[in-house]
Amino acid sequence: MRAYRIDRPSLSWLVVLGAGLAAASALVLLAGPLGYRFGIVPLRVALLTFLTWGAYAGLAAAVVSLAGLVATFMRPRERRRGVALALVSLLAGLALTLAPGRFRMGPPTPAIHDITTDTQDPPEFVAVVPLNTPDRTVYAGEQIAERQRAAYPDLAPVVLSVPPAQAFERALATVREMGWEMVAADGAAGRIEATDTTFWYGFKDDVVIRIRPAEEGSRVDIRSLSRVGGGDVGTNAKRIRAYVAALKAQS
């Protein structure tokens, strides 16, 4: 008796192409930060070239996947195959297109890379100065302070109702809780310096925390500075907010 083989309906070539483009976009976007972290590509190439072409590939993936989805639904019901793959590739393509744009442009933030809770008398870096480029740790003054106050009006010193020595220990414990690399901790001067490394690109950002006596107990000021770039897409302000929240939680 002769056996007959029933062929399964094949995937639309558009669906396959869309999935391939989505995978390629993800690989390109991942290659940028990894290439920079391992010293293979310069920062400008990692940020501009890889992000740009990764976004283009993501957009192409979304368009081709949408076309593949339409082509699949135009088939007879029994021959529709790859609907789930096309949907996943479409959504992935859109996400991969938007992610680089948000990283490069981000939300509306000023093009500054030095943020502090005290713009009139910012905490000074001491131990991290040799780790940074010359003069970068010098605060630029009112030209960036005005822009910071307009963009981040919520950033303010933290007042703790404990003596400075106890506030220093809390501040130090919070730095360890944040997982930052400790650079220096000077209890007599009331100063803590640390370095935070960003996840994707491995950017090194320096932080200094200053503890001073206050009428209510102690005043804690924080300053966060990026080692590279003219803007930080709000990263330093987010870091300060996260630290302040963790410090208050210790009270």
How would residue 99 be classed by pLDDT, with cut points 50, 70 and 90?
A: confident
**pLDDT(107) > 70:** no
Question: What pLDDT is recorded for position 102?
Answer: 60
**How is 137-167 classified by DSSP, letter by letter?**
TS--THHHHHHHHHH-TT---EEESS-HHHH
How would residue 116 be classed by pLDDT, with cut points 50, 70 and 90?
A: very high
45-75 pLDDT per residue, tens: 988 899 999 999 999 999 999 999 999 999 8
How would residue 251 be classed by pLDDT, with cut points 50, 70 and 90?
A: low
Structural domains in the chain plus CATH codes:
13-104 (no CATH), 114-249 (3.30.530.50)
The burial of 8, by beta-carbon neighbours within 10 Å (0-12 exposed, 13-18 middle, 19 or more buried), is given as exposed
187-222 pLDDT per residue, tens: 999 999 999 998 888 899 999 999 999 998 999 999
Instruction: Tell me the CA distances in angstroms from 152 to 97, 224, 236, one per residue in order.
Output: 28, 13, 11
Instruction: State the Cα–Cα distance between residues 167 and 160, nearest whole angstrom.
Output: 7
Question: What pLDDT is recorded for position 5?
Answer: 52
According to DSSP, the residues that pair with 115 across neighbouring strands are 224
Q: Residues in the chain, how many?
A: 251
**pLDDT(95) > 80:** yes
**pLDDT(105) > 50:** no
Rounded to two decimals, the pTM is 0.80
